[in-house]
Amino acid sequence: MLLSYHSATPYMETDLLFPPPALTQPNPSFAGSQALQARFHAAIPGGAHTYAKGDDQFPQHMAPYIVRGEGCRVWDVDGNEFIEFGAGLRSVTLGHAYAPVVAAARRQLELGVNFGRPAVLELETAEDFLDFTQAGDMVKFAKNGSDATSAAVKLARAATCRDLVAICHDHPFFSCDDWFMGTTPLAAGIPRAVQALTVGFRYNDLASAEALFAAHPGQIACLLLEVEKDVPPTAGFLAGLRRLCDQHGAVLVFDEIITGFRWHNHGAQGYHGIRPDLSTWGKALANGFSLAALTGRRELMELGGLHHAQDRVFLLSTTYGAETHALAAARAVMHEYRIQPVVEHLWQVGRQLAAGLHQAAHEQGVAAQVQAVGQPCSLIYTTRDANGHHSAALRTLFLQETLRRGLLMPSLIVNYSHTPAIISQVLERLYEVLGVYRQALENGVEHYLVGEPVKSVYRARN
């Protein structure tokens, strides 16, 4: 049975057939957030400007609306405090309201944010980015990763005079534009002719990429993938893609929107030692300020410039692409990465979190169900049932129980403000959560879960 919701106390242990262990802190109330929910959905389709932040991604009646953040903590409209993971969908790697970044943006705000000609800061930030990442010869800034990645596709098509784009089907998101969304269940409104222009290969399966080139000779403009996600590249895979693109005249594009500023100061391409022709960056680039980047080889990037005699490419041209406060924030971020061991810290506390979760899951008897997956700097977790299958209900239970203990944890992704001491506190709370998880496996998740399970963003119908 599904438990009833009580408006005053959204979760009451007395309602449970099998009560979980005592909490380390009182149950938070979400009454204020619930009171706002109807207004959000009346004004905003889906109730959020990012689908991954939607109500359907969180337990019913436990979807907090945030009012402020500091470091690795956030506070919601009800005054609840949460230790947060995956802040801003991985965009906040230093921490919320990180003082040097805020100070740099504030100083620039007083000087103006947008002009009728390029600001000198645009050049300074571009040179900083190219020097810091070592990822290309030129860079073009934008406001989001979707635009930067779509621009990379356009450049590849222009350079090769080919139409087909080959994407890695094992990576969940590249762009909100039609060329990618047409490959997902959310293809409503996208012409089939556009959908047919995108083909796919599998990660760590070089033969599947080879088969694409064989099936579409002289038609593939580029191969596009994240350098690494939850599974590391097998020996020779990335180098094999590099060889295939060189052999067939295609452009190799790495999506570093997530991996950049996490794996290595030079991105995952620097970490693995394989350079693409183009790469896209975002999220952590400005610690949550809106900024993304497309970078790569000069002969490709210059197609969007003025100094060539070929067909012009209308590349990235956005009114707000070079807002100066975001550029100032990015320069401050890169400065912090140069003087502080940011990446090393992400790996360190990530390892601590992964090891502690493994130990707690083993002691609670759920080591086969709940595991940390991925590199320590960018961890997610599994929520499997007793048969080893992914369970939306158990994921929702995990989210429910972590929220009850002051953890906002859709992932295990850390930032520079997570200290070893904070991770130790988190692990104490996770031990309790995993105890509830074990009981749910033994007695049935329906006895512990309040409300409906979360849903996949990629679904054809609500």
- Give the CATH number of the domain where residue 32 resides: 3.90.1150.10
Amino acid in the structure at residue 127: E
Span 179-199, average pLDDT: 95
Is residue 337 included in any domain, yes or no?
no
Which of 289, 322, 355 marks a domain boundary?
322
Is residue 306 included in any domain, yes or no?
yes
Q: Are residues 165 and 311 in the same domain?
A: yes
Q: Are residues 388 and 438 in the same domain?
A: yes
Q: How much is the pLDDT for 355?
A: 98
Total tally of structural domains belonging to the chain: 2
Q: Are residues 161 and 118 in the same domain?
A: yes
Q: Are residues 89 and 118 in the same domain?
A: no
pLDDT of residue 288 exceeding 80: yes
Q: How much is the pLDDT for 17?
A: 53
Q: Are residues 180 and 300 in the same domain?
A: yes
Q: Are residues 286 and 151 in the same domain?
A: yes
pLDDT of residue 156 exceeding 70: yes
Q: How much is the pLDDT for 320?
A: 93
**Mean pLDDT score of the chain, rounded to an integer?**
93
Q: Is the pLDDT higher at 160 or at 52?
A: 160
pLDDT of residue 187 exceeding 70: yes
Is residue 31 included in any domain, yes or no?
yes
Which of 274, 289, 322 marks a domain boundary?
322
Q: How much is the pLDDT for 6?
A: 28
Residue with token string 């977790």 = 381
Distance between CA atoms of 163 and 198, rounded to whole angstroms?
9
pLDDT tens figures, 227-242: 999 999 999 999 999 9
Q: Are residues 359 and 219 in the same domain?
A: no
Q: How much is the pLDDT for 25?
A: 56
Q: Are residues 77 and 157 in the same domain?
A: no
Is residue 457 included in any domain, yes or no?
no
Q: Are residues 87 and 182 in the same domain?
A: no
Is residue 20 included in any domain, yes or no?
yes
DSSP-assigned beta bridge partners for residue 140: 294
Predicted TM-score of the model (pTM): 0.92
Q: How much is the pLDDT for 210?
A: 98
pLDDT tens figures, 414-461: 999 999 999 999 999 999 999 999 999 999 999 999 999 999 888 888
- Give the CATH number of the domain where residue 176 resides: 3.40.640.10
Q: Are residues 221 and 362 in the same domain?
A: no
Q: Are residues 146 and 228 in the same domain?
A: yes
Q: How much is the pLDDT for 10?
A: 41
pLDDT tens figures, 8-27: 334 444 444 555 555 655 57
Structure confidence at residue 245 as a pLDDT band (50, 70, 90)? very high
Q: Are residues 317 and 346 in the same domain?
A: no
Structural domain for 27, as ranges? 13-96+342-447
Structure confidence at residue 144 as a pLDDT band (50, 70, 90)? very high
Q: How much is the pLDDT for 12?
A: 40
Span 342-359, average pLDDT: 98
